Amino acid sequence: MYQLHSGNDTLKIERPLIMGVINCTPDSFYAGSRTSSIGQAKAMINQMIEEGVDILDIGGRSTRPGSEEISEKEEIHRISEIISFVTKEFPSLWMSIDTTKSSVAKYAIENGCRIVNDISAGNMDPWMIKTVAQLKVPFVCMHMQGTPETMQINPQYNFISDEIVKFFQSKISELESEGIGELIIDPGFGFGKTVEHNYQLMKDLDRLASLNKPLLVGISRKSMIYKLLNSTPETSLNGTNGLNMYALMKGANILRVHDVKPAKEIIQIFQQLNK
């Protein structure tokens, strides 16, 4: 069993957890995840809580393929009211901040978030790693080839699973030496990877589980599903559910999803199968 510690709070991973996506953005790839108003965001959060979410992942900048950077001021503006709402209304609920900027991470943690979730693993901001170490919070370390602007322009690997295992072995050593004690690893499905890369990585997911760090998988409604099935993000829930069950069987500890209730049911079935 893994445990996450942030301040005086502890989150036990005694069963697979659900991380619900809250996009405070106008341009995320899945329209159903966008929140154009505080009222809409609050309604989404309330629904996720009713359905059993364990962590809310709050993001103020879309990282879909081809997305453009925004200023730290704009990013903080987008997330501030949501973080304040959750902290006030649901103080025991864990939040992560989805950002590549150390200043945004620091603001979010100081105002109620408990985890930093960085798609660049600290590579896009030279101050991120030192900031997380100083904040003494868990860090989601994700693999990405390139940047959100460039990552889907002809991504290439020799042997993707070997390369990503080596990436995490190196990153774990680096981050622990910098004083980050609790790491969560995320293979980064869809971030600098073709459809074929994503499925090979999924088949080899147990190799990442063997690194003895909590393993987060985020494949909810992504192109690895809808491109394969010739569908759309809006019609990709069934494929998401199937892949999430497979990920659990391969050792995933946290599912990052747009749809909490289906993920909750999948976890219940998975637990029943493993009694």
Q: What is the pLDDT of residues 154-171, one digit of tens each?
A: 788 999 999 999 999 999
Residue 64 predicted with pLDDT over 80 = no
Q: Determine how many CB atoms are found less than 10 A away from the CB of residue 154.
A: 8
User: Pick the catalytic residue: 106, 193, 256, 264?
Assistant: 256
Average pLDDT rounded to a whole number, residues 263-274: 98
pLDDT of 224 reads 95
Handedness of CA 59, 198, 149, 33 (dihedral sign): negative
254 has which bridge partners?
Answer: 17, 216
CATH class of 15-273: alpha beta
Residue 257: C-alpha distances to residues 17, 30, 33, 36, 63 (Å): 11, 11, 10, 19, 15
Please give the pLDDT value at position 101: 96
Q: What contacts 158, CB < 8 A, 6 or more positions away?
A: none
C-alpha 145/C-alpha 58 separation (Å) is: 23
Residue 29's pLDDT band (boundaries 50, 70, 90)? very low
Structure tokens at 48: 């996720």
Q: Is 263 helix (H, G, I), strand (E, B) or coil?
A: helix
Segment 175-224, tens digit of pLDDT: 999 999 899 999 999 999 999 999 999 999 999 999 999 999 999 999 99
Q: What's the predicted TM-score (pTM) here? A: 0.93
Mean pLDDT computed over every residue of the chain: 92
What pLDDT is attached to residue 67? 54
Per annotation, catalytic residue among 171, 193, 222, 264? 222
| Residue-level pLDDT at 154 | 79
Paired with 34 in beta bridges are 23
Rounded distance, CA 33 to CA 22, Å? 7
Active site residue 256: yes
Give me the pLDDT at residue 65, please. 63
Q: What is the average per-residue pLDDT within 253-271?
A: 98
**Separation of alpha carbons 226 and 202, rounded Å:** 16
pLDDT in tens, 221-251: 999 999 999 999 999 999 999 999 999 999 9
Residue 232 is classified by DSSP as -
Q: What is the dihedral of CA 99, 104, 109, 112, to 10 degrees?
A: -90
d(CA 81, CA 202): 36
Instruction: Identify whether the C-beta of residue 227 lies closer than 8 Å to the C-beta of residue 262.
Output: no
pLDDT at 146 over 90: no
At residue 30, the pLDDT reads 42
CA separation for the pair 190, 243 (Å, rounded): 14
Provide the pLDDT confidence category of residue 151 given band limits of 50, 70 and 90: low
From residue 152, alpha-carbon distances to 64, 83, 104, 163, 173 in Å are 10, 31, 25, 17, 28
